[in-house]
Amino acid sequence: MRNSLFPIDSMNRVVFLKNIITNKQIKIGDYSYYDDPVDPLGFEKNVLYLFDFIGDNLVIGKFCQIASSVKFIMNGANHVIGLSTYPFNFIGAQIEHPISNKKDTVIGNDVWIGYNATIMPGVKIGDGAIIGTNALVTKDVEPYTIVGGNPAQVIRKRFDDETISKLLDLQWWDWSVEKIRENANVLISGNISNLIE
135-175: pLDDT as tens digits: 999 999 999 999 999 999 999 999 999 999 999 999 999 99
Positive or negative: CA dihedral 22, 176, 130, 155: negative
Whether 81 and 91 map to the same domain: the answer is yes
Whether 59 and 86 map to the same domain: the answer is yes
Whether 104 and 192 map to the same domain: the answer is no
Whether 52 and 101 map to the same domain: the answer is yes
Whether 67 and 104 map to the same domain: the answer is yes
Whether 72 and 113 map to the same domain: the answer is yes
Q: Is the pLDDT of residue 3 over 70?
A: no
* Percentage of the chain modeled with pLDDT above 70: 91
State residue 26's pLDDT score.
Answer: 98
**Rounded-to-integer distance, Cα 18 and Cα 60, Å:** 10
Whether 32 and 111 map to the same domain: the answer is yes
Whether 143 and 179 map to the same domain: the answer is no
Q: What is the number of structural domains in the chain?
A: 2
Q: Which domain holds residue 99?
A: 14-158
Band (pLDDT 50/70/90 cuts) for residue 81 is: confident
In a domain, 6, yes or no: no
Whether 30 and 79 map to the same domain: the answer is yes
Whether 122 and 144 map to the same domain: the answer is yes
Evaluate whether 167 touches 145 at the Cβ level (below 8 Å): no
Confirm whether 79 is a catalytic residue.
yes
Condensed to tens digits (0 to 9), the pLDDT of residues 20-74 reads 999 999 999 999 999 999 998 999 999 999 999 888 999 999 999 999 999 999 9
**Rounded-to-integer distance, Cα 149 and Cα 131, Å:** 9
In a domain, 180, yes or no: yes
* Catalytic residue (one of 79, 103, 139, 181): 79
Of 76-85, 88-97, 98-107, give the range with the top mean pLDDT.
76-85
Whether 109 and 175 map to the same domain: the answer is no
Condensed to tens digits (0 to 9), the pLDDT of residues 93-130 reads 887 766 555 689 999 999 999 999 999 999 999 999 99
**Cβ atoms within 10 Å, residue 144:** 23
Whether 97 and 25 map to the same domain: the answer is yes
Residue 151: asked if its preceding bond is cis (omega within 30°), the reply is: yes
